[in-house]
Amino acid sequence: MNEEILEKAFERFDTAISSFEQKQAGQLGDLRERLEDVEARSVTGLSSSGGKERELKQIGGFMKTGEGLRQAKNITSSTPSSNAMIPESIAPDIWTFAKDSSSLLEHVRVTPTQSPNYSRILRTTPPGTAWVAETATRAATDDPSFRRRVPTSGEVHTLTTITSHVLEDNAVNLAQFLIEDVGLQMGRELDSVIISGSGTSRPTGILNTAPVATDDWASPLRSAEAIEYIEWFMNSQTLGEIRRAKTSQGDYL
């Protein structure tokens, strides 16, 4: 057989083998990703895609063995670098669950900040106003007054312990446990601090300073921490009970 023909035949054979190997490698990679996704859902109970499934699988692995996650959050200079934090894949879910679990968060101003040196400028007197005729001269009115306030702040955290039996039970949804249990408790902490926070390593609650009857623009000015008691608010369950209240004659109040 002609040597040139044999050489071309071998070239075609090599090309076919290379193409087959590349195709098999691609299919094997797809299969590996699918298996990792299945493992992630079985360990954490959450669906995932792309690189997220590996992170979700690591959550269960870390909770069981202490290995896998090395995202350190240094609180002080002496904090061990091996400390781990919740991955970004479920951190937003925990915060969302906490907000949804809070009954009072929607009633207060929430301001994201990038610095602990955040402050607010509050108006203590309104700008002056005056009535004038259509063609009259407009004289200068009184300027408003302001004061600067630095809100108190802190961090709410949880150090959750889990028994070995729970960790060894593959039926336990570890990621959902973190999202729901931690998120629910953080929501309760938010409600508590909004009402009665002491201002020490946490926000100052609206009732930490006793409410007074002093108007907003009164002189002398009331403390910035004190609210004026002229309103009453309640949750929907309490409102439902009040709406059913009746007089001794059976008439709704």
User: CA nearest 102: which of 192, 227, 179, 167?
Assistant: 192
Q: Is 0.95 topped by the overall pTM?
A: no
What confidence score (pLDDT) does residue 200 get? 92
The values of phi and psi at residue 46, to 5°, are -115, 140
What confidence score (pLDDT) does residue 204 get? 92
Q: What is the pLDDT of residues 36-51, one digit of tens each?
A: 555 555 544 444 455 5
- Which DSSP string corresponds to 217-234? T-SSPPPTTPPB------
Helix 3-44 vs helix 52-65: crossing angle, to nearest 10 = 50
20, amino acid identity? F
* C-beta of residue 182 within 8 angstroms of C-beta of residue 94: yes
* C-beta of residue 142 within 8 angstroms of C-beta of residue 128: yes
* C-beta of residue 48 within 8 angstroms of C-beta of residue 37: yes
* Segments of the chain scoring below 50 in pLDDT: 43-48, 70-75, 79, 81-84
What confidence score (pLDDT) does residue 243 get? 87
What would you measure as the largest C-alpha separation in the chain, in angstroms?
A: 116
SS3 148: strand
147, amino acid identity? R
What confidence score (pLDDT) does residue 196 get? 92
Q: What is the pLDDT of residues 150-168, one digit of tens each?
A: 888 888 887 766 676 766 6
Q: 85-101 burial by CB neighbour count: b if 16+ within 10 A, else e?
A: ebbebbeebbeebbeeb
Token look-up 């309104």 returns: 126
